[in-house]
């Protein structure tokens, strides 16, 4: 709860909410999130006994949709908008195969050379395994291509009589097979995710944890959009940052507060970070802006910040307090509230068994239905009658949260 949170029950009710969703490193059109919300919202409503329906967005602006929900006898309207940076993501994924292997070397050096990799591993091994996966997968693909090239060239030359430049011809055949093999693997990356993840980590590593200028400009646009909503007739403005979108939201909201654009008498401002990977950025040497924003936001009363992760999500830094583990917690820090989505408890044994090894699907479970829902329900939070502050007012943080500082780089902008 923030220092300015209204105290009457009537004042805490939400009838109209504005939701801004900031996705992670995702090149897909934002309609994917609308369809996910529609499908999973209907499933959760059926399980939990409330009503929810989607309608097209009115007017221009960011891509979005409208939601009407009846929960606990109260009708709530929500306008959900996706703050899109998928075009930046797509442009960063345009590297050729040789360029991707060059990214592999630069990214490995950025994390290993700075010592960040080993410190991150002490927090959670899951996301580090996810970070190492594309490196080993791409090297394995190159090895498979090289072995196939050698085998095919050797077999072909064995069938032919001796001729000039035999060795050079064998090398050419092997190189051609290697190139074709690598192209095949890239074409099938929707199954392997090696190139996708490599581009993801390379995007952060290239700038040493800083944001590239184009992304900074987009974040400023996002801040303007949220600032405008804070001057309008909403009961709550909720910012949701998923995966890499969580650390973008930290900086965007910090900028809003610093610039004095959060009205004291405006809508309640709330921030929900889901499946965050903040340490992957904040542990890098040039992440001074993010570290400053973490230290700032963790002690601000203008908003309520709840961070939800789950140990079952191998791609997130589960239950890690992003401010404290980064080593920049000020003495007055009181946010975020660290909560576990507890997949092994909120999903039935049958559902958990079906999803357990689908790592990328689990990373999106926060946006989906739970067949044994607990305190966390994405659709009650985004379309229900309680503010985020009120919903988790008396909720203690998860006992297994991780707060020990492990970062070598603690300088701030």
Q: What is the pLDDT of residues 137-151, one digit of tens each?
A: 999 999 999 999 999
Q: 159-182: string of b/e by CB count within 10 Å (b at 16+)?
A: eeeeeeeeeeebeebbeebbeebb
| Residue 1 clears pLDDT 60, i.e. is over it | no
% of the chain with per-residue pLDDT over 70: 97
d(CA 404, CA 27): 34
Q: What is the mean pLDDT of residues 107-112?
A: 96
Q: What is the mean pLDDT of residues 238-264?
A: 98
| Residue 6 clears pLDDT 50, i.e. is over it | no
Instruction: Report phi then psi at 13, rounded to 5.
Output: -75, 145
The confidence score (pLDDT) of residue 5 equals: 43
The confidence score (pLDDT) of residue 177 equals: 97
Tokens of 187: 């074409």
The confidence score (pLDDT) of residue 11 equals: 54
| Residue 84 clears pLDDT 90, i.e. is over it | yes
Which three-class secondary structure string do you get for 224-237?
HHHHHHCCCCCCEE
Which residue in the block uniquely carries the two structure tokens 């074409």? Answer: 187
| Segment 182-194, tens digit of pLDDT | 999 999 999 999 9
Q: What is the mean pLDDT of residues 199-213?
A: 95
Q: What is the mean pLDDT of residues 56-61?
A: 84
| Segment 274-286, tens digit of pLDDT | 999 999 999 999 9
| Segment 314-369, tens digit of pLDDT | 999 999 999 999 999 999 999 999 999 999 999 999 999 999 999 999 999 999 99
Beta bridge mates, 54: 67
Which residue in the block uniquely carries the two structure tokens 């917690």? Answer: 329
Confidence of residue 163 (pLDDT cuts 50, 70, 90): confident
The confidence score (pLDDT) of residue 385 equals: 98
Do residues 383 and 301 lie in contact, with contact meaning Cβ atoms separated by under 8 Å?
Answer: no
Confidence of residue 4 (pLDDT cuts 50, 70, 90): very low
The confidence score (pLDDT) of residue 59 equals: 79
CA-nearest of 279, 270, 289, 385 to 337 is 270
Task: Identify the H or E element spanning 82.
Answer: strand 74-82
Q: What is the DSSP letter of 274?
A: E
Check: pTM over 0.85? Answer yes or no: yes
The confidence score (pLDDT) of residue 169 equals: 92
The confidence score (pLDDT) of residue 58 equals: 84
Do residues 208 and 285 lie in contact, with contact meaning Cβ atoms separated by under 8 Å?
Answer: yes
Peptide bond before residue 401 is cis, with ω within 30 degrees of 0: no
d(CA 227, CA 302): 13
d(CA 65, CA 57): 4
Domains of the chain: 16-88+208-391 (3.40.50), 96-204 (no CATH)
| Segment 90-100, tens digit of pLDDT | 999 999 999 99
CA-nearest of 275, 273, 269 to 241 is 273
3-state DSSP: the chain helix, strand, coil percent, rounded to 5? 50, 15, 35
The confidence score (pLDDT) of residue 321 equals: 98
Give just the sign of the alpha carbon dihedral 168, 171, 175, 176: positive
| Residue 38 clears pLDDT 70, i.e. is over it | yes
| Segment 374-411, tens digit of pLDDT | 999 999 999 999 999 999 999 999 999 999 999 999 99
Long-range contacts of 9-13 (CB under 8 A, 24+ apart): 12/386, 12/387, 12/389, 12/390, 13/74, 13/235, 13/385, 13/386
Q: 109-141: string of b/e by CB count within 10 Å (b at 16+)?
A: ebbeebebbebbeebbebbbebbbbbbebbeeb
Residue 191, burial from CB neighbour count under 10 angstroms (0-12, 13-18, 19+): exposed
d(CA 8, CA 390): 11
Summary mean pLDDT of the chain? 95
Beta bridge mates, 66: 55, 79
Phi-psi region of 209 (alpha: psi -120 to 50; beta: other; left: phi over 0): left
């Amino acid at each position: 709860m923030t220092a300015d949170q209204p105290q009457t029950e009537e004042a805490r009710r939400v009838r109209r909410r504005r939701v801004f969703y900031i996705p992670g490193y995702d090149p897909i059109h934002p309609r994917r999130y609308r369809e996910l919300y529609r499908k999973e919202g209907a499933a959760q409503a059926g399980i939990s006994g409330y009503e929810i329906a989607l309608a097209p967005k009115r007017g221009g602006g960011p891509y979005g949709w409208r939601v009407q929900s009846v929960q606990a006898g109260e009708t709530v309207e929500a306008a959900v908008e996706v703050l899109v940076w998928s075009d930046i993501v797509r442009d960063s994924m345009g590297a050729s195969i040789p360029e991707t292997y060059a990214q592999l070397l630069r990214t490995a050096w950025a994390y290993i050379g700075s010592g960040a990799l080993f410190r991150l591993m002490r927090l959670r091994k899951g996301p580090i395994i996810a970070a190492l996966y594309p490196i080993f997968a791409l090297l394995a693909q190159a090895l498979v291509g090289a072995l196939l090239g050698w085998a095919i060239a050797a077999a072909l030359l064995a069938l032919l009589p001796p001729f000039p430049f035999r060795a050079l011809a064998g090398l050419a055949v092997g190189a051609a097979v290697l190139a074709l093999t690598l192209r095949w693997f890239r074409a099938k990356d929707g199954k392997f995710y090696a190139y996708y993840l490599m581009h993801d980590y390379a995007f952060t590593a290239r700038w040493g944890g800083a944001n590239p200028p184009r992304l900074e400009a987009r974040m400023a646009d996002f801040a303007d959009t949220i600032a405008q909503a804070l001057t309008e007739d909403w009961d709550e403005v909720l910012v949701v940052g998923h995966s890499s979108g969580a650390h973008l939201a930290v900086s965007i909201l910090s900028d809003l507060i610093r610039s004095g654009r959060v009205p004291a008498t405006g809508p309640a401002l709330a921030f929900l970070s889901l499946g965050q990977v903040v340490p992957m950025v904040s542990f890098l040497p040039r992440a001074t802006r993010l570290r400053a924003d973490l230290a700032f936001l963790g002690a601000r009363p203008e908003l309520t910040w709840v961070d939800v992760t789950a140990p079952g999500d191998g791609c997130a830094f589960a239950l890690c307090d992003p401010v404290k583990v980064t080593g920049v917690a000020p003495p007055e820090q009181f946010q975020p509230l660290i909560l576990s989505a507890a997949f092994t408890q909120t999903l039935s044994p049958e559902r958990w068994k079906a999803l357990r090894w689908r790592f990328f699907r689990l990373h999106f479970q926060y946006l989906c239905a739970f067949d044994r829902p607990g305190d966390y329900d994405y659709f009650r939070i985004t379309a229900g009658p309680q503010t985020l502050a009120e919903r988790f007012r008396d909720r203690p943080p998860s006992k297994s949260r991780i707060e020990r500082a492990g970062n070598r780089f603690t300088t701030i902008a």
